[in-house]
Amino acid sequence: MTAIVILGARGLPLARRIAAALSGAEVHGPVGLAVDTSFAKATEHLLGLFRQGRPIVFLGAAGIAIRAVAPALADKSVEPPVLAVAEGGSSVVPLLGGHHGANRLAREIGAALGAHPAITTAGDLRLGLALDEPPAGFACPDPTPVKALTAHLLEGGGVRFDDPAGLAHEAGLAGLAADPASRWTIRLTEQAVAAQPGQLVWHPRRLVLGVGCERNAPAGLLIDHVAACLGRAGLAPEAIACVASIDLKADEPAIHALAGHLGVPVRFFTVAELREQTARLANPSELVFREVGCHGVAEGAALAGVGPAGRLLVAKQAGPRVTCAVGLAPLPVDPGVVGRARGRLAVLGVGPGQPEWRTREVEALLASASDVVGYRLYLDLVADRIGHCRRHDFDLGEEEARCRHALALAAQGHDVALVCSGDAGIFAMASPLVELLERPEDPAWARVELVVGPGISAMQAAAARLGAPLGHDFCAISLSDLLTPRAEIERRLQAAAQGDFVIAFYNPVSRRRRDLLPLAKTILLEARPADTPVAIARSLGRPEEAVTVTTLAALDPEAVDMLSLVLVGSSNSRAVTLPSGRTLVLTPRGYHRKSA
């Protein structure tokens, strides 16, 4: 993920513009700014990012960035992109990693800002491209010859093209001087070829790999079968644009493992779409038709992937529990327009309120989402991160409707974020969602990729404000009887009181439900001291946040509202007042006994 690093608030608007133009970028800035990641010292942070291999876009003087990462400069073949952007956005300078994405990033940022990408790499400037960084749709399996070939071309030499499909123009190579007698050859081929002196190979990604397998076939079985089939056909894995199959297999682990092994996306087709390929199949099967409703999965998916102008290059190759076939398109294939991706539903806890409490995983999932679903108040909390998404707002109390809507969107191939406050699994949306998946109303729901992104829960946030109230055993109880019978709530209150747990009360009151918190107070007073500390934490992480500490005897339920969490200490908990006057709550775990 690209890190856009700023030195102060003045750079924030420009950083936001750059982040919007780059997929998956995040803004890093000094402590105190509303950014994705904060740091205390910019130079140390830049060096740390560089050592992690993170692409860096630095908004400031190029010298600062260079001096910051200088201690880690060693091997240019592995260094990440580092760019400097002028304060006003007038120019973008790739400093390091030109052939590892820096020049490409400079062009993307320059286009977004209307700025000049100050590319200084000789090959890029004079040749118009980097031979070891092909455009989309092409792969360079071995960049070793690039340095010598680039020097040859910069000295005025020409190159011979071995390009039977006529793809040099598509590859951006048409501007190079052609010389049929040159000692250098650029070969564009789908074939797996051995390295030869004086030859640079690019693989056009014209192949679509169609696959099928039995349910839960071992991933290694499919990966090995595909490797053997490609080997027999003499085809390069780097020439594969995507893996394709029937949508009934959208949740098949082996297929996703294969795609991950090859480093390509997976695309799926409906039964009806595969049936349209029947006349083009080399091996139509009545057995397959009876099983799934089309006459061929591997061949059909390969042919659907390469389109009507493509052809079947490798007919179905069957192995134990797995099959594959290969289609060849006339031009490189864009996986984004092939079939449908497996939909993803990410259930995201965004914390109680403030942006700093969102996890990096949640931020990344929000950044990649195409659609975001949730209670409108919670969506407002992440409005700074979902401007690129289609927004689906719901009212309070429509939890199941939100889940159904999110599942339906994901089943259509969308990347969906279902947003809730706090942590998704603590009195939040993960529970009704998994209930629906247990008995899905639509079989396609069960094939969606499910991700649950953890968040900071309200009780964690309250504990952070109070010091150490959860230092020993604790539990959480919801006082809402909308979904839980009142008798069960009373039984749990009695058990928690007897167990002497610190208790976090969620949903302590509502406009119409005012009697369960007083009941909880009565039950707890029978089991623990009247001076047991109690904290009321309201609107945590928001501008109107208020945290007060009182005692169990003095707890006034009327001082609690729907935006509050009530934290009741155990019999061992105690209030601690610092010299500054700040009151903390401590539930000791007994470390003093360990050191005694």
Global pTM reads: 0.76
Q: Does residue 573 share a domain with residue 466?
A: yes
Residues 463 and 585 in one domain: yes
Are both 463 and 452 inside the same structural domain? no
What CATH number is attached to the domain comprising 87?
3.40.50.11220
Q: Which helix (H) or strand (E) holds 259?
A: helix 253-262
Cβ atoms 186, 171 nearer than 8 A: no
Is residue 131 domain-resident?
Answer: no
pLDDT at position 127: 62
Q: Quick one: pLDDT at residue 295? A: 95
Both 464 and 588 in a single domain? yes
Q: Which two tokens stand for residue 592?
A: 């003093």
Rounded Cα gap, residues 50 and 30, in angstroms: 18
What's the mean pLDDT in 38-53?
Answer: 88
Q: Are residues 100 and 172 in the same domain?
A: no
Q: What is the CATH number of the domain that holds 215?
A: 3.30.420.180
The answer to whether residue 225 sits within a structural domain is: yes
Give domain status of residue 127, yes or no: no
pLDDT digits (tens, 9 = 90+) for 279-321: 999 999 999 999 999 999 999 999 999 999 999 999 999 999 9
Residue 125 has a pLDDT of 52
In-domain check, residue 130: no
Share of the chain above pLDDT 70, in %: 97
Looking at residue 120, its pLDDT comes to 66
- Residue ranges of the alpha helices (H) in 467-590? 486-499, 516-525
Residues 51 and 154 in one domain: no
The last residue of one of the domains, among 161, 181, 204, is 204
Q: Which domain holds residue 290?
A: 211-337
| Tokens describing residue 361 | 């995983």
Residue 411's alpha-carbon distances to 269, 291, 390, 482, 546, in angstroms, are 13, 22, 16, 30, 42
Shared domain for 465 and 561, answered yes or no, is yes
What integer pLDDT is reported at residue 385 of this predicted model?
Answer: 80
Residues 9 and 114 in one domain: yes
Q: Which of 175, 204, 233 is the last residue of a domain?
A: 204
Q: Rounded to the nearest 10 degrees, how much is the dihedral formed by the CA atoms of 73, 76, 81, 84?
A: 60
pLDDT in tens, 321-342: 999 999 999 999 999 899 999 9
CATH number of the structural domain spanning residue 508: 3.30.950.10
**Residue 511 or 63, more confident:** 63
Q: Would 54 be classed as within a structural domain?
A: yes
Over range 32-52, report the average pLDDT: 88
Is pLDDT above 80 for 490? yes
Do 466 and 451 fall into the same domain? no
Say yes or no: 333 and 386 in one domain: no
Tokens coding 528: 């623990």
- Same domain? For 165 and 46 the reply is no
Tell me if 261 sits within 8 A of 223, measured CB to CB: yes
The whole-angstrom separation of Cα 447 and Cα 266 is 14
Q: Tell me whether strands 322-328 and 207-213 are parallel, antiparallel or unpaired.
A: antiparallel
**Domain presence at residue 327:** yes
pLDDT digits (tens, 9 = 90+) for 350-397: 998 788 888 889 988 988 889 999 999 899 888 878 877 899 999 988
Buried b / exposed e over 186-219, threshold 16 CB at 10 Å, is: bbbbbebbeeeeebbbbbbbbbbbbbbbeeebbb
Q: What is the pLDDT of residues 174-185, one digit of tens each?
A: 889 999 999 999
Same-domain check for residues 157 and 108: no
Is residue 125 in a domain? no
pLDDT tens for 385-441 read: 887 789 999 998 899 999 999 999 999 999 999 999 999 999 999 999 999 999 999
Q: What DSSP assignment string belongs to 326-387?
A: EEE-SS---GGGSSBPPPEEEEEE-BSS-GGGS-HHHHHHHHH-SEEEEEHHHHHHTGGG-T
Write the CB contacts of 229 (distance below 8 Å, at least 6 apart in sequence). 314, 317, 324, 326
The number of folded domains in the chain is: 5
Whether 122 shows a pLDDT value over 70: the answer reads no
Q: Which residue has the higher pLDDT, 511 or 537?
A: 537
Q: Domain for residue 175, yes or no? A: yes
* Among 319, 337, 355, residue at a domain's last position: 337
